[in-house]
Each structure stands twice: as C-alpha cells, then as structure tokens.
Homo-oligomer: A and B are copies of this chain.
Amino acid sequence: MTQKPPLYQQISQTIEHHIKTEVLKTGDKLPSLRSICHEYGVSMSTALQSYFLLESKSLIESRPQSGYYVSYAYKHALSAPTTSSPVLTYGMEEIENIIATVSDNAAKSKILFSMGTPALELLPVAKLNKAMLHAMRHLPDSGVFYSHQGNTKLKQQIAKRAMIWGGKLNEHDITTTSGCMDALAFCLIALTTKGDTIVVESPIFFGILQLAKSLGLNIIELPTNAVTGVEIDALKKVLEKKKIKLCLLVSNFSNPVGSCMPTEHKKEVVKLMEKHNVPLIEDDLYGDIYFGNQRPSTCKAFDESGIVLWCGSFSKTLASGYRVGWVAPGKFKEKLDRTKRYHSVSTNTLAHEAIAHFMENDRYDAHLRKLSQTLYSNLQHYLRCIAEYFPAGTRVSKPDGGFILWVELNKNQSSLKLYDQAIQHKINISPGSMYTLQQQYDNCFRLNFGLKWNDKVEAALKLLGKLAHQQKG
C-alpha cells in the first residue's frame, strides 16, 4: 500500500517541477511562505518544511530578510550528503586514535577547520568580561560559595527564551549544568545502566559515542538524512523490534551533518517515544544559531508527558570555557537533580551569573543576530569554494544554522588520507570516521565555517580541493 506523501513533500514536488521546466527561472523570487500557506491551505511550519526540502536539494536558497530564490547554481549544484546507512559495528580504539591525532595537531595548526566553536572574533569577549565583573560585584558572596540550587536568574532566562519555540517552561523545570556534555552525562547516568541499548543518529558527535561506550551502553546508530535528520521509519522499526532504553537526538543543526528535523518529524518522534515509553534526550546545542526567520522548534515543544529531556548550553554561542549548560528533564527532574548533586555538588557560580546577566539585558539576542549573519555569509563563501575547488560529485550539507559543514567526497576517496596531507600544510580538518562506531564515512569530513572569513581560509579550502582532486586522479 503506497501512502500519499506528506503535504510538505507534495508542495515541494510541485515547485520542483516548475523549476525543472523553467516556469520558475534561476534567480526568480519564490512566493512568500505566507502566500504558500494561503494557496495550499497549510500551516506555516508545513510551508517552511517544503521550502527546506527544496533548499536541501539546492534548488532554492534563502536570503536573510529577503525571502527564497531559485538557486543560481542549481544546474551544477552541490547535492546534500546521502542519507547514512550504518551497518558494521567496530571498536572504540580506532576512533580514539583519530580523535587524539586531530586534537594533538590542533595546537600547531594554522587553519583550525576542526574547531568545535566559532572563532574568537565572532564572540562578544569584551561584553562577557563586563558581565563577569558584574557577577563579582552583584553576588552577595562574590561567588565564593556553593550554589546548591543553581542560578535562579539563569533558569528564568532559559525558560523565558524557550517561549520563542513554544516551550512552556518555568525556572523550576530547569537544572543548570557545567555545559551540555555535563547535562548529557547526567541524563545517561540517571536513566541507564551498563548493558542498556540506546539509539542515536549517524554520523554523530564522537563525544557522545565515547561517553555512552564508557558507561557500558550499546549504541544503535540510525540512518540519518542530511537535511531532515533521523529517518523516522528506521526509528519506528528499532523501537518496535528492540528493547531500547533511551533515544538521544540532536534535533537542530546536528553535529556533524547539520540536519534539522522538520517540525512534523519532531512531533512524530515524541509520539513514538510516548508510545514505547522511551525517554528522549534532545540535544539542542545549536538551535539558537539559525539562519531563517524563526528559531527552529524542539521535540520538547510537543512533550506533554514529560518524556523529553531538553539539553543545551552557551558553549557554541558565547563561551565554551564558562561551562554553562542546562537540561529541562521533564518528569525525570528529581532524578537529574540528584545526579547533579551527587556528581558535582554545584556548578560554577560566577560564570553562571555572568551569562544570566548577559541574557537579561537582551545582549544575547543582539549577539545571536550578528553571529548568525556572519555565519550565514561564511557558509556562502564555503559553499562557493567547495563548488569551485572540489572534484565534481562532491556533496555537502547546507545547514540552516550552526557552523558545521559535512563534506562527502566521492566513494573511493579517503578523508584520513586527505587529513594527513592537509596537516602538512597546517590545515586541521575532522575526518568522517570519527563520527561513528562503524567503519564508514571515511569519504566524509567535517568543516567548521565559524572561522573569521579571509583569504587564508579561502586558500586553505582551495588547497583541500586540490588535494581531493589529486587523490581522485
């Protein structure tokens, strides 16, 4: 029995047909999202999803504050990376070695495409210093004492910001942590025991693989679309067939592929979790860095039963060194609070107060707007360079947020080989095989486009392209 595709797919198919038959020509402006809603009688989120899908196929592109256009480059377009299909499982040692190499080489590299944050120039350092000063002056104990309950102001600000994407949270729903990894670790410790099985996307940030493996968990990596994230059917199947303890997904601008789950998928995932009574750890570390007009939603927004543990931090937007993160653990709040208390007693006082103060004064939103604009502009430069300098057939993600690109070379190429050559030129990239426990993705690598754009970065991309060409020939 063939089902009719969902509405957003029908809409995008229609527009795709118009583009391919040149009813809509390269550079033409597309109808506004509002008029799509009106014309097809659909919701704004459905309209957005249809445009996201077209964008993912490089048929259209969004221009901030302007709208969507038929992509000038669609004829020789860079396709999105293929949907992953993880198969073989292998050990940790292999990826530990690669991670160690990339990390050891970082200090002596000149172009750090492997970085995990935007560059210093993109961060509001002076304002953060001011906020720290304020924290020292403002806290009655200058922050020298434990903060057993966490910073109330910070929790209020996090809850308030969640309203943007429809979050119905208050300060009592939030547990503050020392960064997002700390939050994920507490969630895993609180909800799993050795031998349990969890499911994640593939590829996925290696730190999550390392953490889960070190806790003795079995990890099932699910097929993942570079645009829409985890494949819902695959998730459905695994939940039906296996005893899954929990699910960990990066819902928005995932690391490393940059996928963003459409709102409908988010709803569906939550429904599935509820049906199978499986908790969802939602890692929303990149959600605040978005290039569209609207902050993408979260699974948490559709969580009526408290089954979603929504995690985030300021490490990717403000200061990773401050160690300020959070989790809204739903019905697992008490468990999480206990785990936090047992393992760490308290979070850092001054940094948490500083970030709270920074947010209270709308500095966060102003910074995010600026940061996103810079990153979007960087992304265009990177895409242009990859289209220009890399071999034909190279595929690349075009994330609508974050600062991470996933480049897929041709099948016979090796990013480990590319790594070894690039590092001779002090260019540090992140080989794809770091992002899985299965022997794959060697023809992929991750690029940080949060570096300050300049000729040196362009030259480095050009050189990478040249090395990829040589490898092919």
Contacts and interface: CB of A to CB of B under 8 A. Distances in A.
A181 B129 contact: no
Interface in A344-382: 344-351
Contacts of A132: 132, 136, 350
Interface string A46-60: 000000000000000
Interface secondary structure of A, over-half rule? helix
Interface in A2-37: none
Interface string A254-291: 00000000000000000000000000000000000000
Nearest to A141: B120
A196 B125 CA distance: 46
A320 B342 contact: no
B129 A136 contact: yes
Interface string A184-198: 010001000110000
Interface stretch (A73-81, A206-214, A240-248, A383-391): A206-214
B344 A178 contact: yes
A136 to B, nearest CB: 5
B185 A320 contact: no
Contacts of A141: 120, 125, 321
Question: How many copies are assembled?
Answer: 2
A129 B226 CA distance: 47
Interface in A144-185: 144-148, 178-179, 181-182, 185
A307 interface: no
Nearest to A335: B214
A322 B350 contact: yes
Contact of A345 (B207, B347, B351): B207
Contact of A194 (B129, B194, B348): B194
A278 B129 CA distance: 46
Contacts of A136: 129, 132
A354 to B, nearest CB: 9
A233 to B, nearest CB: 31
A320 B125 contact: no
A338 B341 CA distance: 22
A102 to B, nearest CB: 12
A321 B339 contact: no
A252 interface: no
Interface in A69-98: none
A148 to B, nearest CB: 7
A142 interface: yes
A292 interface: no
Interface in A300-321: 315, 318-321
B125 A321 contact: no
Contacts of A343: 181-182, 185, 211
B143 A344 contact: no
Nearest to A180: B345
Contacts of A211: 342-343
A208 to B, nearest CB: 9
Contact of A144 (B116, B210, B321): B321
Contacts of A143: 319, 321-322
Most interface-central of A341, A345, A351 (chain B CB within 10 A): A345
Given A181-B344, A345-B181, A351-B350, A145 B321 contact: yes
Given A144-B320, A322-B348, 10 more contacts: A123-B144, A128-B142, A132-B132, A132-B136, A178-B323, A179-B346, A181-B345, A321-B348, A350-B350, A351-B351
20 contacts: A116-B146, A117-B145, A128-B142, A132-B136, A141-B321, A145-B321, A179-B344, A181-B343, A182-B343, A182-B345, A185-B343, A193-B194, A207-B342, A210-B342, A214-B338, A214-B339, A214-B342, A321-B346, A322-B350, A323-B346
**What 10 A-B pairs come out closest when comparing CB atoms?**
A321-B349, A144-B319, A211-B342, A185-B343, A146-B320, A348-B348, A181-B345, A143-B321, A323-B348, A210-B342
